[in-house]
Amino acid sequence: MNARGGIAAATSTEALTTEQPVGRSAGWWGMVMFVATEATLFACLIGSYFYLRFQHGGPWPPDGLTAPTLARPLLMTAVLLPSSLPVVWAERGIRRGQRWRLRTGLAVTLVLGVTFLILVATEYAEKLREFTITTNAYGSLFYVITGFHGFHVLVGLTMISWLLVASLRRGTFGAHRHDRVRNAAIYWHFVDVVWAAILFTIYLSPRLS
Amino acid sequence: MSTHPGPRARLAGGLLLWYAVLGGAIAWAVHLIAGWSVDELTCAGGSERVGALPLRTAIGLAVVLPALATVGALLAAALLWRRTARTPQGVEPERRVGRSRMLAVVGIWLNLLFLTIIVLGGVALIVLPPCQR
Amino acid sequence: MSTTAASTPGASREDLARLEERWAERPSLRSWFSTVDHKRIGRRYLVTAALFFVLAGLSALAMRTQLARPESRLLSPQEYNQLFTMHGTAMIFLFATPMLFGFGNFLVPLMIGSRDMAFPKLNAFGYWVFLFAGLFMWASLPFGAAPNGGWFAYVPLTEERNTPGLHMDVYTLGLLFLGIATTAASINFIVTSLKLRAPGMSLNRVPLFVWAIVATAFMVIFALPALNVDNAMLFLDRRFGTHFFDPEHGGNVLLWQHLFWIFGHPDVYIIVMPALGIVSAVLPAFTRRGVVGYALVVFAMASIAIISFGVWVHHMFATGLPPLSYGFFSAASTIITIPSGIQIFAWLATMLLGRLVLKVPLLFVIGFIVTFVLGGFTGAMFALTAFDQQVTDSYFVVAHFHYVLIGGALFPILAAVYYWLPKITGRMYHEKLGRWAFWLFFTGMHLTFFPMHLYGLFGMPRRVYTYPDEPGWGGWNLVSTAGSYLLAIGLLLVLIGVIHAVRRGRPAPPDPWGGDSLEWSTDSPPKPYNFPVLPQVHSLHPTWDDASRTSMTEGATDDRILARGRQTLVTSELDGRRERTVEMPEASLQPLLLALALLVFFTALLFAWYPVAVGAALVVASTIAVWLWPPRRPDQELGVSA
């Protein structure tokens, strides 16, 4: 089909009146709306970070604190971002009724997620020697934003382990029933994407400017 | 219109409908956030330049580009409105056209409204110096 | 049993018996706690919100009594601060939105021709959380520990060192707790309206009230997080010594205001929009025609819902932004009046072109238009910066927003009470009593709040527990107080009217008003399964159109009776094409248990019993895990290959 034909087809009455989005389940919409409101929550937190930073003027981080080092956060990113892939693979598997793929994929994600949380703990152990949540507004922002995200990772991991335990039993998930897998997957992808925003905000942005 | 559009054309058409309805709203949101934060941050930093661009030009871009996107959405909504004037032959459900036609009306008004807001923002840019306190 | 069947049922006797068996809840103590029926939950929302309204109203009466004369010492300053804070907070968070969501809960599934909400258990959970959060906040008042920093709780006043004690912790935790209910209800409304509409109900046939609820729900989804973040930060500042709002350690007090008004301005519309939806629902029945300009009204609601997020800065006139940034926001602030005006003109045109039937609900609608327009007029006066700075924090502002909120929310709510009372209770109200209630309320309202404009202009500041005898203050304050008692008597008559209807009213027919939307096509009160036959919708006014009505009687088909289980229909998002039938959840105690665990969690946080809070959080997590645990099915049914 050439370009002009394509445009004509896409702007025909029939194409324009195509139903889109269509056929999603109530659970899918519920999860998407939940993620939307959660994403707004993170947007408000990150917005507050930049607001306080730019209203503060002067050097950032303030009070002679050093800008955070990048090695560990990048390692954390390398652990967390790819952890979405096994979930996708597991979800595709259970859509075809392959329970082993569901179990394996979830287990791999679980390992990656737990590794991430351990890295967060070591990061905190190091940072706490330099500043705490009560040191100044920067400290408050740092711990509240990363802590809130860490809490979301924990919730996501609870979902994943819950799915894993459920999938070990017979008669729970199959090609005709995988709503819960997909919903947990949406949440996990969301937690991943938010991490990218936090990496930029907390770790990369102090190095710009 | 005897041939039925393929699945990709249908997807494009369905997305075009949402651009026609919500394009102006999204463009306005981008305009507001970009215009406000660029103005605020640059002035707070005590300069009148964003990189190589003068501040006024940068904010001007945050007005003109969303305005163009809104005009595009307005045209798409007008097209949708024309294409839903009557039910095409051989397509069964009349209500599908009715739904899209209502969305077209809503889209035309939304885009006009958001275009007005963005243009008013442009007027403010012409009248007011960007960093006056 | 009442014999007011909607019409010759299209479902057979056996089908009706089966539906009854699947959906009815036997009256027992357990079913009272475990119900998931949207109609029972909706009624509870209404009654509970009305209870909180009475408490907030009594707080106001106490304040008016104090202010009747100068130098009065009835209330101490501390008591007065708590009363005005709880009055505002409760009216906004515990009355207006939950009351309107109560109508939404009862009506949305009926209006779209479904048998319940999309997530019935989540719905029950939302109600319990709302109830507990409301009690959590009100319970602080007898202990003298109620919030006392005004309903918008500006820092630095509300920081620990300026307001020690539990007061503001009750505020922050109570609103965070309540936010769970509001968010859950909003998600439920959106999904219900997207997926559970009767077949044939494409977007251009959705009742305006449902549009209003959905637009409101979208605003909640995107506005409430700002308030939640704000409150969480304030709680952390107060309790754990963070420095978000502390300028000495890099924080900023304006951050509170920004986040609060990012929520707060949409919240004005969150309160008013469903009320405007009520007006659009009431008018067709009493003007005998559809609302003029359906698509324009939908456009107005959509644009208000979007633009309301771009105007928050206008609450912060005096905070030193560059005028250019302010210009971007004031463009939006100016333009948002256009869609509001479009709605008003659409209603006026409807009344002009229709045949008016002057019953009590329409009286309240007319009262709404008069009062709301007056409130809008004083609102426009604030746009003059010089005037704004003159009257800010005076009683003029109090007068203005009471005109807006009583006009924009309470009048429509009262219209809705009378309009849907027959549907909700199955009984008619006493028309004459209703008229008395209207006129007393209307007169009392204007007598109370109109003088506030005057003594506001004479310079009387708001939020003071008493005042010296300045010229022009004392007399008008006495008028206000007298008016407030008149207003209260009017509201008392509303209450008496409701009780009278429930106990003595004559039985209501299915459609006492000749309404146009689907709730009038079924019994009053509706059966537990709402519709014996789910309708096939053919127009915007299904109860007025023969094809839609017949689809529930002679035209009934088995795939819309669905008597084989506890089922309802799922349709497509935009066109309402039939997709599949779904099984709906049974009654359950889990929602109550989950809400109780959250109550323990927030109470423990309030009193700093952190180990208890951790325990409660674990109960929350395990309850959710059990709630969502997949039921077992045979492998063939699931489709498992390995």
Per-residue model confidence as pLDDT tens digits over C1-11: 333 444 456 88
Q: How far is CA C192 from CA A72, C103, C115, in A?
A: 44, 15, 11
Longest CA–CA separation in chain A, Å: 65
Beta bridge partners of A84: none
Asked whether residue A144 is domain-assigned, the answer is: yes
| Confidence band of B36 (pLDDT split at 50, 70, 90) | confident
Kindly give the residue spans of alpha helices, DSSP state H, lying in B45-54: none
CB atoms < 10 A from the CB of C496, how many? Answer: 14
B72 touches chain C (CB under 8 A): no
What does the alpha-carbon distance between residue C606 and residue C277 come to, in Å, rounded to a whole number?
38
- Is residue B78 predicted with pLDDT exceeding 80? yes
- Report yes or no: C324 and B40 within 8 Å, Cβ to Cβ: no
Q: Which residues in chain A touch residue C119, judged by CB atoms under 8 angstroms apart?
A: 26, 30
B130 touches chain C (CB under 8 A): yes
User: What's the distance, Cα to Cα, between the start and end of chain B in Å?
Assistant: 59
From the CA of B111, how many Å to the nearest CA of chain C? 10
C331 touches chain B (CB under 8 A): yes
| Buried b or exposed e, range A66-91, using 16+ CB within 10 angstroms | eebeeeebeebbebbbebbebbebbb
Look up residue C93 and give its DSSP letter. Answer: I
Q: Which chains touch A (3 or more CB pairs under 8 A)?
A: B, C
- The DSSP element (H or E) to which C569 belongs, if any, is strand C567-571
Question: What's the confidence (pLDDT) of residue C219?
Answer: 97
Virtual torsion, Cα B104, B110, B116, B118, nearest 10 deg: -110
Per-residue model confidence as pLDDT tens digits over B101-112: 999 999 999 999
Question: What's the confidence (pLDDT) of residue C391?
Answer: 87
Mutate to test the interface with A, among B4, B16, B91 (most CBs of A within 10 A): B16
Which of C179-188, C228-237, C326-335, C405-414 has the lowest average pLDDT?
A: C326-335
Residue with structure tokens 């506001």?
A: C456
Question: What's the confidence (pLDDT) of residue C9?
Answer: 63
Region of C459 (left: φ > 0; alpha: ψ -120 to 50; beta: rest) is left
Residue of B nearest to A13 (CA): B83
C591 phi, psi to nearest 5 deg: -55, -45
Question: Domain containing A115 — which CATH number?
Answer: 1.20.120.80
Length of chain A: 209
Taking alpha carbons only, the member of C75, C58, C77 closest to residue C66 is: C75
- Is residue A182 predicted with pLDDT exceeding 60? yes
CB atoms < 10 A from the CB of B24, how many? Answer: 33
Average pLDDT, chain C: 93
Q: What is the CA radius of gyration of chain C?
A: 25
Question: What's the confidence (pLDDT) of residue C166?
Answer: 94
Question: What's the confidence (pLDDT) of residue B88?
Answer: 67
What does the alpha-carbon distance between residue C604 and residue C281 come to, in Å, rounded to a whole number?
43
Mutate to test the interface with C, among A104, A140, A141 (most CBs of C within 10 A): A140
Which of A16-25, B112-121, C212-221, C445-454 has the lowest average pLDDT?
A: A16-25
Q: Which residues in chain B touch residue C254, judged by CB atoms under 8 angstroms apart?
A: none
Per-residue model confidence as pLDDT tens digits over A124-171: 999 999 999 999 999 999 999 999 999 999 999 999 999 999 999 888
Q: What is the ipTM of this complex?
A: 0.95
Domain span at residue A114? 24-207
Mutate to test the interface with B, among A1, A7, A14 (most CBs of B within 10 A): A14
Q: C628: Cβ–Cβ under 8 A, 6 or more apart, which residues?
A: A162, A180
What does the alpha-carbon distance between residue C218 and residue C212 come to, in Å, rounded to a whole number?
10
Beta bridge partners of C582: C568
| Confidence band of B50 (pLDDT split at 50, 70, 90) | confident
Residue of A nearest to B50 (CA): A209
Q: Which residues in chain A touch residue C179, judged by CB atoms under 8 angstroms apart?
A: none
Count of domains forming chain A: 1
- Is residue B27 predicted with pLDDT exceeding 60? yes
Contact: C236, A62; criterion CB under 8 Å: no
Question: What's the confidence (pLDDT) of residue C177?
Answer: 98
Per-residue model confidence as pLDDT tens digits over C110-120: 999 999 999 99
- Highest mean pLDDT: which range of A54-63, C317-326, C538-547: C538-547
Look up residue C197 and give its DSSP letter. Answer: P
β-strands C567-571, B53-54: how paired?
Answer: unpaired
Count of domains forming chain B: 1
Comparing CB atoms, the residue among B9, B84, B97 nearest residue A10 is B9
Residue of A nearest to C195 (CA): A26
Per-residue model confidence as pLDDT tens digits over A88-109: 999 999 999 899 999 999 999 9
Signed CA dihedral, C466, C470, C472, C478: sign only: positive
From the CA of A160, how many Å to the nearest CA of chain C? 11
Comparing CB atoms, the residue among C296, C329, C574 nearest residue B99 is C574
From the CA of A63, how many Å to the nearest CA of chain B? 19
- Report yes or no: C369 and C412 within 8 Å, Cβ to Cβ: no
Comparing CB atoms, the residue among C188, C625, C640 nearest residue A174 is C640
Q: Which residues in chain B touch residue A13, judged by CB atoms under 8 angstroms apart?
A: 1, 83-84, 88, 91, 97
Per-residue model confidence as pLDDT tens digits over C338-391: 999 999 999 999 999 999 999 999 999 999 999 999 998 888 887 677 787 788
Q: A159: Cβ–Cβ under 8 A, 6 or more apart, which residues?
A: A184, A187, A188
Burial class (CB in 10 A: 0-12, 13-18, 19+), C503: exposed
Taking alpha carbons only, the member of A74, A84, A55, A54 closest to residue A192 is: A84
Q: Which residues in chain C touch residue B32, judged by CB atoms under 8 angstroms apart?
A: 310, 328-329, 332
Beta bridge partners of C571: C578
Instruction: Give the mean model confidence (pLDDT) for residues C243-247.
Output: 94
> Tokens in use for C370?
């008069």
Per-residue model confidence as pLDDT tens digits over C71-84: 999 999 999 999 99
What does the alpha-carbon distance between residue C313 and residue C333 come to, in Å, rounded to a whole number?
9
Asked whether residue B2 is domain-assigned, the answer is: no
Question: What's the confidence (pLDDT) of residue C610?
Answer: 97
What does the alpha-carbon distance between residue C619 and residue C632 come to, in Å, rounded to a whole number?
24
Taking alpha carbons only, the member of B59, C184, C182, C221 closest to residue A43 is: C221
Residue of C nearest to B113 (CA): C335
Q: Which residues in chain C touch residue A51, judged by CB atoms under 8 angstroms apart?
A: 252, 255, 258
Asked whether residue A14 is domain-assigned, the answer is: no
Comparing CB atoms, the residue among C294, C296, C327 nearest residue B128 is C327
Contact: C642, A98; criterion CB under 8 Å: yes
Beta bridge partners of C461: C394
Q: Which chains touch C (3 or more CB pairs under 8 A)?
A: A, B
Q: Which residues in chain A touch residue C226, judged by CB atoms under 8 angstroms apart?
A: 40, 44
Residue type, C281: A
User: What's the distance, Cα to Cα, between the start and end of chain A in Å?
Assistant: 48
Q: Is C212 helix (H, G, I), strand (E, B) or coil?
A: helix
Instruction: Give the mean model confidence (pLDDT) for residues C499-512.
Output: 95
Q: Which residues in chain B touch residue A54, judged by CB atoms under 8 angstroms apart?
A: 40-41, 44
B96 touches chain A (CB under 8 A): yes
> Tokens in use for A164?
């894993």
Domain residue spans of chain C: 13-357+509-627, 358-508
Q: Which residues in chain A touch residue C118, judged by CB atoms under 8 angstroms apart?
A: 26, 29-30
Contact: A11, B40; criterion CB under 8 Å: no
User: What's the distance, Cα to Cα, between the start and end of chain C in Å?
Assistant: 55
Residue type, C110: L
Contact: A14, B14; criterion CB under 8 Å: no
Signed CA dihedral, C144, C148, C151, C156: sign only: negative
- Is residue A46 predicted with pLDDT exceeding 90? yes
- The DSSP element (H or E) to which C345 belongs, if any, is helix C337-353
Residue type, C330: S
Q: Give one DSSP letter per residue of C370-429, joined into a string.
A: HHHHHHHHHHHHHTSHHHHHHHTTBHHHHHHHHHHHIIIIIHHHHHHHHHHHHHHHSB--
What does the alpha-carbon distance between residue C201 and residue C196 come to, in Å, rounded to a whole number?
10
| Confidence band of C325 (pLDDT split at 50, 70, 90) | confident
Comparing CB atoms, the residue among B9, B40, B100 nearest residue A17 is B100
Average pLDDT, chain B: 87
- Report yes or no: A116 and A76 within 8 Å, Cβ to Cβ: yes
Signed CA dihedral, C549, C553, C556, C560: sign only: positive
- The DSSP element (H or E) to which C465 belongs, if any, is none
Per-residue model confidence as pLDDT tens digits over C572-590: 999 999 999 999 999 999 9
- Is residue C313 predicted with pLDDT exceeding 80? no
Burial class (CB in 10 A: 0-12, 13-18, 19+), C165: exposed
Residue type, A5: G
Which of B10-14, C295-299, C331-335 has the lowest average pLDDT?
A: C331-335
Q: Is A19 helix (H, G, I), strand (E, B) or coil?
A: coil
What does the alpha-carbon distance between residue A188 and residue A106 come to, in Å, rounded to a whole number?
11
Contact: C322, B133; criterion CB under 8 Å: yes
Q: Which residues of A touch B (CB under 8 A)?
A: 1, 6, 9-20, 54-55, 57
Q: C623: Cβ–Cβ under 8 A, 6 or more apart, which residues?
A: C590, C593, C594, C597
Q: How far is CA C174 from CA C86, C128, C271, in A?
A: 12, 14, 19
Q: C149: Cβ–Cβ under 8 A, 6 or more apart, which residues?
A: C81, C85, C157, C158, C163, C167, C168, C171
Taking alpha carbons only, the member of C184, C47, C186 closest to residue C129 is: C184
From the CA of B74, how many Å to the nearest CA of chain A? 15
Domain span at residue B93? 16-127
- Within 144-183 of C, beta carbons closer than 8 Å to B belong to none
> Tokens in use for A21?
């989005």
Superfamily holding C13-357+509-627: Cytochrome c oxidase-like, subunit I domain (1.20.210.10)
Residue of B nearest to C305 (CA): B25
What does the alpha-carbon distance between residue C78 and residue C67 come to, in Å, rounded to a whole number?
15
From the CA of C307, how many Å to the nearest CA of chain B? 8
Between C11 and B120, name the one with better pLDDT. B120
Question: What's the confidence (pLDDT) of residue C1?
Answer: 33
Residue of B nearest to A6 (CA): B9
Question: What's the confidence (pLDDT) of residue C318?
Answer: 55
| Confidence band of C88 (pLDDT split at 50, 70, 90) | very high
| Buried b or exposed e, range C337-376, using 16+ CB within 10 angstroms | ebbbebbbebbeebbeebeeeebbbbbbbbbbbebbebbb
- Within 142-201 of C, beta carbons closer than 8 Å to A belong to 183, 186-188, 190-191, 194-196
Per-residue model confidence as pLDDT tens digits over A15-33: 888 888 888 999 999 999 9
Mutate to test the interface with A, among C122, C246, C249 (most CBs of A within 10 A): C249
Q: What is the pTM of this model?
A: 0.96
Question: What's the confidence (pLDDT) of residue B2?
Answer: 47
- Within 435-464 of C, beta carbons closer than 8 Å to A belong to none
Taking alpha carbons only, the member of C523, C534, C511 closest to residue C11 is: C534
> Tokens in use for C300?
């107005």
| Buried b or exposed e, range B93-131, using 16+ CB within 10 angstroms | eebbbbbbbbbbbbbbbbbebbbbbbebbbebbeebebb
Q: Which residues in chain C touch residue B117, judged by CB atoms under 8 angstroms apart?
A: 307, 331-332, 335
Per-residue model confidence as pLDDT tens digits over C629-641: 988 888 777 877 7
Beta bridge partners of C569: C581
β-strands C578-583, B53-54: how paired?
Answer: unpaired
C202 touches chain B (CB under 8 A): yes
Contact: B13, A6; criterion CB under 8 Å: no
Signed CA dihedral, C242, C248, C250, C256: sign only: positive
